Structure 1
C-alpha cells in the first residue's frame, strides 16, 4: 500500500483525500519511483476543481515529482534502479511512490537535488519554452510579467534579465514587489493600487512591450493587449483568475496587428530530444546560479489541502514542495 492524495469529486481543497492505495509493478516502458519531493503548481488546482478535466474520477493529484527509480518495466533500457529522476506528468504525483512512463522522465545531474528538481521541473521548463520558443526574448526587449513574485514569475524574471531584457512585473503587495525586484524585475507595478497599462506606458515612454507573459487570464488579458507594441505578442499560459472565453480576434488589428498564443508544455516536450534540450537548458541556468530557486514552503503530503488553500489565497511566493 502507498500513501497518496486523491480527488473523488471536483471541488475545493477539502476534496483532496489522503489515503492508502495499491500500486502495481511497473508496466512495459514504465519506471517505479520512490518519490522524495513533489512539486506544487497552480495547475494542480485546475484539475482539483474540474477546470481541467481528469481522464476519470477518482484520480491522484499532482503534475511534478522527483525521486529514485526502484524498478523498471519491460523494455526500459535508459534507466536503472538507483537513478535519480524527475518528471512532469499528467497527474499522479501526490504519492509516496508511483509508476511513470520512462519517456517523460529525465535523469538528474549531480548539481540538482531531488528537492530542487521538484521545485523547478514544471515551472522551470515552462519558463524555458516561454522565453525561448513561444517568443524568443532577446537583448533590448521590454517584457511584462504578470504575477512576477509567483513560482513561474520569479524564474521567468531572473532568466529574462540574464537574456538582456528590461523586465516589468506586476505584484499584489509591496512585499511581493520587493521579492520581484530581488529576482530580476527592473520595475514592479502594484496592480491593486495602480493601473498597469498606464504604468507600462509611463515606464516605457509610450513604447510599450514586445511581449506580455500572462498566467492570470480572465482579469488581465484585454488590458495586457494594451501593453504591447505593434506586432507584439501576448503569451497566455495560465488562468489563475479564470479562463479566457469568447476572445474577440478583432481586438488585435487596431492595436497593431498583435499576436496571441496559448501554449502548453506538452507541445514543446512531445519529442524526446525536445524534452532533453529544455531540461538541460533549465538545469544549466539553475546549477550555474543564473536562476536562483527559493523554496518558501515545505509541507507533508497529508497537508495538501492546506497547501492548496494557501496557493489559491495568493499567500505563497516562490516554490512549494510536498514530501511523503
Structure 2
C-alpha cells in the first residue's frame, strides 16, 4: 500500500514584501484526489504579476501560499476518476495558483496535453504571455495590417511576443526599450524602429519614424513613466491599451480621452474568455506562430526553483529580457 503523503520542495510566501519573502521549503504532498492528477513539474513560468502577489499589490487568500500560475511537466499519478489522462502524459496548465513547486496535485479540468513539438521550457515561457498578447491584439485593439503601433518594453516577456506578432499581422511596429543593450537585442530580432528611453525622447523619436504623423495605437505595460507621453503621439480616434504598470499606475484622464475620441482599453486577462478556458484552445494559434517561425523567442532565462528570490529581484530591477522560468 502506498503512503498517503510524501513531500516536495516549494517556494512559499508567509507574508508580502520584497523578493526575500520567498522561502524554499519542503511541504507535504498528499495522494491525488479522485479528479486530480499529480504532476512532476519540469518548467515553471515566472510572470510579472507573480511579483504583485508577492509584494501585496494583488490579494492572496491565505498564508502560507505557493505563488505562480503556469507550468509544464509529466503526470506521475492519477486519481480514481481520471479517464482522459494517464501516467507519463506530458501536460501543461495556466491560471491555477500554486505553480512554484517540484510536484503538485491539480484538477484534471485545469490541464491540457502538451503537443510533442512544444518543449516544457517553451510552454512555461509562453502560455500566459502568449494569451496576454492574444487578448491585446485580438480584443483590446484588433490590430490591422499597416496600422502604426507603439509597443513599450518590446524585449520583455509579453513585449517580445507582442512585437513579433504585430509585425506578422503587417503592422508598422515602433518599440521602446530601457537600455542600449536591450536596443541591440530588439535590432537583432529584426526591428529597425527602436527607441531607447534611457537616452532618447519618446515624442521626437516617434515623430522621426512616422514623419511627424500620429500613431494608431499603443500597447503599454510600463504605465506611469510612458502612458501620458504616449497619448501625445496618438491620433484622435486611436486606441490606448494599458496592460501593466511596471513603473506605477498612470493617472487616467478619461474625460480628455473622450474629447479626443480615444478608445481606452484596460482589459484584465482574468476576464478574457479564451484565458478562462483552461483547455488551451487559444494556445494552438500561438504554438503555430512559434513553430512556423513567425515568433522567434530567445531561450528563456533559467533559474533553479530554489533561486526564485534572484529571479524576482532580476525581473524587478529590469535585468532580464524575454521569458524567465524556474526549474525544479
The two structures have a TM-score, normalised by structure 2, of: 0.92
- CA deviations 1:29-58 (Å, max 9, x no partner) are 433211001111211111110011112122
Structure 1 equivalent of residue 3 of structure 2: none
Whole-Å separation in 2 of the counterparts to 1:295 and 1:52? 29
Q: 2:232 aligns with which of 226, 232, 249?
A: 226
* Partner Cα distance (1:185, 1:290) in 2: 14
1:135 aligns with 2:137: no
2:253 counterpart of 1:248 = yes
Residues 218 and 230, structure 2, Cα contact 8 Å, conserved in 1: yes
CA distance in 2, matches of 1:180, 1:78: 42
Deviations 1:195-219 (A, max 9, x none): 2133223321233222211111222
Deviation of 1:145 (Å): 0.7
| 1:69–1:85 CA contact under 8 A, matched in 2 | yes
Determine whether 1:146 maps to 2:152: yes
1:261 aligns with 2:265: yes
8 Å CA contact 1:215, 1:239 repeated in 2: yes
For 1:204, the equivalent position in structure 2 comes to 210
CA separation of 1:109 and 1:187: change in aligned 2, threshold 3 A: same
Q: Is the 8 A contact 2:125 2:300 kept in 1?
A: no
For 2:94, which of 88, 91, 101 is the aligned residue? 88
**Residue 300 of structure 1: how far off its partner (Å):** 0.7
Structure 1 segment 1-324 matched on structure 2, within 5 A: 1-27=7-33, 29-73=35-79, 75-244=81-250, 247-254=252-259, 256-268=260-272, 269=274, 271-272=276-277, 276-324=280-328
Q: CA deviation at 1:275?
A: 5.3
Q: How many residues align?
A: 321
- Render the CA deviation track for 1:76-121: whole Å, top value 9, x for unaligned: 4333322211121243111001122333322211110111111111
Equivalent residues of 1:119, 1:295 under 8 A apart: no
Residue 5 of structure 1, CA deviation: 0.2
Q: Partners of 1:146 and 1:271 in 2: how far apart?
A: 26
Cα distance in 1, alignment partners of residues 87 and 186 from structure 2: 40
Q: SS of 1:293's equivalent?
A: coil
Give me the TM-score of the superposition, normalised by structure 1. 0.93
Q: CA deviation at 1:251?
A: 2.3
The Cα RMSD (Å) is 1.8
Q: 1:301 to 1:251 in 2, by over 3 A?
A: same
CA 1:279/1:9 → structure 2, altered by over 3 Å: closer, same or farther? same
4+ residue runs of structure 1 moved beyond 4 angstroms?
none
Q: 1:17 to 1:160 in 2, by over 3 A?
A: same
How far does residue 307 in structure 1 lie from its aligned partner after superposition?
1.1
Larger Rg: 2
Gaps of 5+ in 1: none
Alignment CA distance shift 1:11-1:99 (3 Å): same
2: CA distance, partners of 1:216 / 1:90:
25
**In 2, Cα distance between equivalents of 1:260 and 1:93:** 33
